[in-house]
Amino acid sequence: MHALLPGPDLDDDTLISHYARPDRPTLRVSFVSSADGAMEIDGLSTALSGPDDKRVFGVLRMLADAVLVGAGTLRRENYRPIRLSPPRVEWRRAHGLPDFPTLVTVSRSLDLDPAMPALADAPVRPLILTPSPESRPDLSAVADIVRFHDHDLLPGVRARGLDHILCEGGPHLLGTLLAADAVDELCLTVAPVLAGAGASRIVTGPISAARRLRPAHVLRGGEHLMIRYVRAS
């Protein structure tokens, strides 16, 4: 047993090294949860976040080829176009990456507004993954629509060379990914708040087998804990 706190302040380079891109294709999932396991307060994750959680969130986006998000979260959290600060764009260029990660969303209903800024103003043409055969020319004008079958979401993403995928939720999408045993990492921020009864967990949907993880690091930022879990072999 080890005492982890307090530790030294982390500069940006050290923080980035804690989340370095593995040398194989990876699906990394990022969530913030209350201390009692809730993933939202009043329907949004905003009240659970904090400045250092946002800093890690920015680092995770900077390191990703694609940001994967369920349509429910895209709609509810009013997603903005995925852009990065100039220093983060510089970092990507220096590491041979395109300026911005690609937004990838998943929808069965295709009930998405093509005018929503996350799609219409995206700096990189987004992907919409769907099992639906429906044709939506208005959505095709702003994004590539990619069909998938049998809950196997990722082949159409990987086929575009997007190897390092960051999933930002939400709980239904995580349920699908866990059912497919596709999760390689969970970057979980624990907020110092008890949300109380009624709020949902970070995962819902089909029953899946338990997946064992091991902690790769635990950081403290302000009053939040940031835990990076990786698959236990």
Ligand X SMILES: NC(=O)c1ccc[n+]([C@@H]2O[C@H](COP(=O)([O-])OP(=O)(O)OC[C@H]3O[C@@H](n4cnc5c(N)ncnc54)[C@H](OP(=O)(O)O)[C@@H]3O)[C@@H](O)[C@H]2O)c1
> What torsion, rounded to 10 degrees, do the Cα atoms 202, 156, 55, 77 define?
-50
Interface with ligand X (CB under 6 A), residue from 44, 115, 141, 216 = 44
Pick between residue 93 and residue 151 the one whose CB is nearest to ligand X.
151
Which one of the spans 13-21, 69-77, 79-87, 206-214 is the region binding ligand X (CB under 6 A)?
69-77
Interface with ligand X (CB under 6 A), residue from 29, 45, 53, 229 = 45
> What torsion, rounded to 10 degrees, do the Cα atoms 15, 19, 20, 23 define?
170
DSSP 77: T
Footprint on residues 158-197 left by ligand X (CB under 6 A):
168-173, 176
* CB neighbours of residue 209 within 10 Å: 7
Interface with ligand X (CB under 6 A), residue from 21, 54, 76, 231 = 76
User: Across the chain, how many H-helices and E-strands are there?
Assistant: 8, 9
Pick between residue 122 and residue 139 the one whose CB is nearest to ligand X.
139
State the nearest-atom distance from the C-beta of 141 to ligand X, in Å: 18
Token digits for 223? 């009053």
DSSP element (H, E) containing 165? strand 164-167
Please tell me the count of residues contacting ligand X according to CB under 6 A: 28
State the nearest-atom distance from the C-beta of 171 to ligand X, in Å: 5
Interface with ligand X, residue 228, by CB under 6 A: no
**Distance (Å) of CA 64 to CA 4, 42, 88, 128:** 28, 29, 12, 17
Pick between residue 15 and residue 191 the one whose CB is nearest to ligand X.
191
Token digits for 108? 């069965």
State the nearest-atom distance from the C-beta of 122 to ligand X, in Å: 17
Encoded one letter per residue, x for contact with ligand X by CB under 6 A and - for no contact, window 103-142 reads ---xxxx-x-------------------x-----------
State the nearest-atom distance from the C-beta of 153 to ligand X, in Å: 6
Interface with ligand X (CB under 6 A), residue from 70, 162, 178, 226 = 70
**Distance (Å) of CA 167 to CA 39, 108, 125, 170, 229:** 15, 17, 18, 8, 14
State the nearest-atom distance from the C-beta of 23 to ligand X, in Å: 27
Give the strands of the sheet with 224-231, arranged side by side.
144-147, 127-130, 102-106, 66-70, 164-167, 26-34, 185-191, 224-231, 213-221
Pick between residue 106 and residue 145 the one whose CB is nearest to ligand X.
106
Binding site for ligand X (CB under 6 A): 31-32, 39-40, 43-45, 48, 70-73, 76-77, 106-109, 111, 131, 151, 168-173, 176
